[in-house]
Structure 1
Amino acid sequence: MKRFFQPIQKDGSSKKPALSTQAENEEDERESGDDGHGKEPSKFLTWNANSLLLRAKNNWPEFSKLVATLDPDIIAIQEVRMPAAGSKGASKNQGELKDDTNASRDEKKVLMRALSSAPFGNYRVWWSLSDSKYAGTALLVKKCFKPKKISFSLDPAAKKHEPDGRLILAEFESLRFINTYVPNNGWKEEESSFIRRRKWDKKMLELILQLSDKPLIWCGDLNVSHEDIDVSHPEFFATAKMNGYIPPNKEDCGQPGFTMSERKRFGTMLREGKLIDAYRFLHKEKDMECGFSWSGNPVGKYRGKRMRIDYFLVSEKLKDRIVSCKMHGHGIELEGFCGSDHCPVSLELAPSSPDVKPNEASN
């Protein structure tokens, strides 16, 4: 969801940052002599940054403090909004940041300097980016953990990235982790909205079922509030419309993310994919102060209107290991949101039993 921001200020520093690339990730592994394959991450953080560059410029101390305190093994970022590498008119490299113009080089330096500072220097970074300053995801994994495989498509066998860089899938020895920025449903029945979202949900369910041989953690901005308890004002969101448009199918009516059609499909994914909503598993009651991950603009009709659209979903076989799942922002003034309109959400799992071998975790 969108929010107006201040203009980007010119960064005057000429210091060259350390750039985290796929090649440097591999070099780090060779130098460390530790492949990290047998280690299992147990602490996770997800955040829709609503422009990671703006957050690096304006809100990095706050976010850095949170990361240092929580010490997550994996950080999943959505809405990076940094363009993929590649000149105008040429094919893009969605795994690298654009740096072929003075402006893009300056922006890359600002962002990579932030990601090279403590505590982020302890992480490897993978990108999946859009062609323009839109959407995009990033995955930060502590260097002591080595994914067996990283992919970027709803088809795990495909080498290409999803359009707009909406997915990163990391496979570890005993589990898989998916970071997604799910497309917004939109307000009207058109190719860029309802239809696109239905296609995404169908393919996502197919992917979840394909990956059922190992426990799964799926997180990110999933752009849906499953139940009435997941929004601050159910009636407001259920009847919301833009420019007076009313979809012909009543199940498509309402605020994107709270239409009955989306909520039913989400329920199907949970049920058929045998997934648990970690936050709701621990928090059964509605919490008007801390129970929502997205908050409307403090000015205007959306003031105080909030939704829980950022999730950690885990395989049912992991539910007994859920220690905590917390939202780190609260209130209609967006305290703890680190400058975004989404707050960071964390998940912690208890360590797996030392008596269970990695290949037995999925049985």
Structure 2
Amino acid sequence: MKLLSWNVNGLRAIVKKGFNEVVSDQNPDIMGIQETKLQAGQLDLTLPGYHQYYNDAERKGYSGTAVFTKAEPLDLYLGIHAPELEHEGRTITLEYPDFYFITCYAPNSGSNEARMAFRMDWDTAFQAYLNDLDTKKPVILCGDLNVAHQDIDLKHPDHHRGDAGFTDGERHNFSALLQNGFIDTFRTQHPDLGGAYSWWDYRYRARQSNAGWRIDYFVTSERLLPNISKTAILPAVMGSDHCPVELDLQGMSLVKPLDN
């Protein structure tokens, strides 16, 4: 089973930059999308063989998530059981017989105290949500989690220490998640691989010099570790300031695929 995750930085924009061709070439079973930046009716996207699910932010042109999947889920849920935090369209959960699949666009903590407080509240509520799901069946979480966990996960850690996405609080919360029965699948397979980034600031021509951050993840329940056959970052795929990340799982599959 092949899974992809991609912060597209505007789904309407990236459709004009070869998005459908990327989906066709990569042929994922499920694809989690972040930062769709649209509302219902603003895009008529044709993806043969895929069911499409969206969670739009209340604010126009902001945030938003989507999932494209070859198999209809047993159930679908938008949110994290925290209504006060759910107006930005940041998660979609699909339930399948053997696992939950979640796409997530975590809040950016920004540069003001109010947004950092929102991020800390989000982390607490989201981890409680993941922990609850994990008691029922394994969890596969993907998305732009807006945190570089370790120094190895960004090009200039000393320069960016304390910046949004690399604060002590955000990193601590991610560590707490990993200490509570979850794994960072890419770092589990590649513990010492530097220079592996998934986001580059459009300013400063950062992608050309690979001055990036690894803030896009597949995080799974620890008990899925034996099923992991491949983890990858796909920097050659263009169209966004992020690139897709990939997780392949063996011994797992979807049900009721659509006829192409």
TM-score, length basis structure 1: 0.65
Q: What one-letter code is carried by the residue in structure 1 that aligns with 2:74? A: K
Q: What one-letter code is carried by the residue in structure 2 that aligns with 1:203? A: A
Map Cα deviations across residues 156-205 of structure 1 (whole Å, 9 max, x no partner): 9x8x9921111100011110011110000111212xx1110011000011
Structure 1 position 71, deviation (Å): 1.4
Q: Does 1:281 align with 2:188?
A: yes
- Aligned partners of 1:198, 1:220: CA distance in 2, in Å? 18
- Aligned partners of 1:301, 1:340: CA distance in 2, in Å? 13
Q: Aligned pairs, how many? A: 250
Structure 1 position 223, deviation (Å): 0.3
Question: 2:179 maps to what in 1?
Answer: 271
- Aligned partners of 1:216, 1:208: CA distance in 2, in Å? 7
TM-score, length basis structure 2: 0.90
Structure with larger RCO (C-alpha < 8 A, sep 6+): 2
Question: 1:140 maps to what in 2?
Answer: 68
Q: What one-letter code is carried by the residue in structure 1 that aligns with 2:230? A: S
Runs of 5+ consecutive residues of structure 2 not aligned to the other structure: 254-260
Map Cα deviations across residues 264-323 of structure 1 (whole Å, 9 max, x no partner): 011101212x111111111122332xx100012253789643100000001111001111
- Aligned partners of 2:85, 2:77: CA distance in 1, in Å? 8
Question: 2:223 maps to what in 1?
Answer: 317
Question: 2:3 maps to what in 1?
Answer: 44
Question: 1:124 maps to what in 2?
Answer: 51
Map Cα deviations across residues 98-150 of structure 1 (whole Å, 9 max, x no partner): 4xxxxxxxxx3xx32xx31xxx21101011001211000011111xx221100
Q: What one-letter code is carried by the residue in structure 2 that aligns with 1:195? A: A
Q: Secondary structure at the match of 2:33?
A: strand
- Aligned partners of 1:79, 1:205: CA distance in 2, in Å? 21
8 Å CA contact 2:153, 2:194 repeated in 1: no
Q: What one-letter code is carried by the residue in structure 1 that aligns with 2:52? A: V
Superposition map of 1:40-119 within 5 A: 42-57=1-16, 59-60=17-18, 63-83=19-39, 97-98=40-41, 108=42, 111-112=43-44, 115-116=45-46
- Aligned partners of 1:309, 1:169: CA distance in 2, in Å? 20
- Aligned partners of 1:72, 1:260: CA distance in 2, in Å? 35
* Aligned-residue RMSD, C-alpha: 2.1
- Aligned partners of 1:257, 1:163: CA distance in 2, in Å? 21
Q: 1:294 aligns with which of 199, 215, 228?
A: 199
Q: Secondary structure at the match of 1:164?
A: coil
8 Å CA contact 1:129, 1:137 repeated in 2: yes
8 Å CA contact 2:206, 2:212 repeated in 1: no
**Percentage identity across paired residues of the two chains:** 35
Q: What one-letter code is carried by the residue in structure 2 that aligns with 1:319? A: L
- Aligned partners of 1:44, 1:207: CA distance in 2, in Å? 22
- Aligned partners of 1:307, 1:130: CA distance in 2, in Å? 25
Greater radius of gyration (CA) = 1
8 Å CA contact 2:37, 2:64 repeated in 1: yes
